[in-house]
Copies of this chain bind each other. A is one copy, B any other.
């Protein structure tokens, strides 16, 4: 192990949960990394905002600097783990301009300014590595960009947010309510004090935009991603799902559609995040706790699934270091980087045009003719009934209420949503208990 390797200067921006692990592993495994990269990866500095903030792992104080721009200037590889849009964006563009390859785990930045950063890299033949930005430690970027490059991805269904999977899994296994599990998750550090980014699906939407861009060779703007969170999922919905052999998961879905956005010839895509019913027989149903998984359907390869830890400092550091080794190999080998292909540039359809199946749960007056009225409204709305189950929830003495659970055949979202509005306004429906999409069948 005494090979006299060329040295590559590695600059690290950020020393938080992931950054401090990256710094630690870079030093701890220096010899092995050198053998694998074909270059000695010399950590030349770590840019931080506060030199005196407490760190999760130990490293020499003299590596710390507050002058990120100076640090970037002398680096061969720049690792950006600061998070946020600015100044991360500015620093990445500077690094690329200065001839460095860049590694980032910044999903918010890539989901909003990806095309700008990829274009900048393309112009100088640099490469942007971001394995850690989509599903933490799970290798999904390389499989999509390289392994499936000769195939056509049809559909991705991902559990890409650990916090919400943790919450939904505990609601499922313990029969607990959302609020209680969330509070517990916050106490245990699985959820942030302000959980909005996770529970409202913002984090998953960023990852969906990144995955869809890559899979469909299309620049997907974040605001084209339909997003719904899980705060309305309650114990009753979970229990009903369990009884039906299903589980509710927050899914990031990226789908290739055979027709274009305006109904004309040509393909389009849909990118959406929402909680959905998934059969317990589906591989995604077996993803427990804070784990993530990305289920990919491709024309030739068929069904693939990638499973692992979606977050965590040291787990995400593994993905970052894999990228650093790739960047180093490229530096040594020479040649230009593989750019992000947006050549297909398919239109992203609005949610109203998405076709899937649904489960509608209604509370209705328990009177003769109600079922016929409900069925009639569905039929007029072009929503075809696949399964229907009616149960009495309160007898005539207490008002006469029945519960109807309808499983639909595939329908167009706009038709479904209009139909549910008409059901709610029909006079026979006391309450629309829930409307959930059914995915993965």
Contacts and interface: CB of A to CB of B under 8 A. Distances in A.
Contact of A324 (B150, B301, B330, B341): B150
A398 interface: no
B304 A137 contact: yes
A99 B151 CA distance: 26
A36 B300 CA distance: 16
Contacts of A146: 139, 142, 322, 325-326
A301 B139 CA distance: 10
A396 interface: no
A322 B148 contact: yes
Interface string A368-410: 0000000000000000000000000000000000000000000
A150 B300 contact: no
Contact of A142 (B33, B139, B319): B139
A334 interface: yes
A36 B319 CA distance: 24
Contact of A307 (B36, B217, B305, B324): B305
A303 B318 CA distance: 12
Contact of A300 (B148, B283, B302, B317): B317
A197 to B, nearest CB: 23
A32 interface: yes
A63 interface: no
A324 B148 CA distance: 11
Given A21-B300, A147-B319, A302-B309, 18 more contacts: A36-B343, A137-B300, A139-B139, A139-B146, A142-B142, A142-B147, A147-B322, A148-B322, A149-B325, A149-B326, A283-B286, A300-B317, A301-B308, A302-B308, A304-B309, A307-B307, A330-B335, A334-B336
Interface of A: 1, 21, 25, 29, 32-33, 35-37, 131, 137-139, 142-143, 146-152, 217, 283, 286, 298-309, 312, 314-315, 317-326, 329-330, 333-338, 341, 343-344
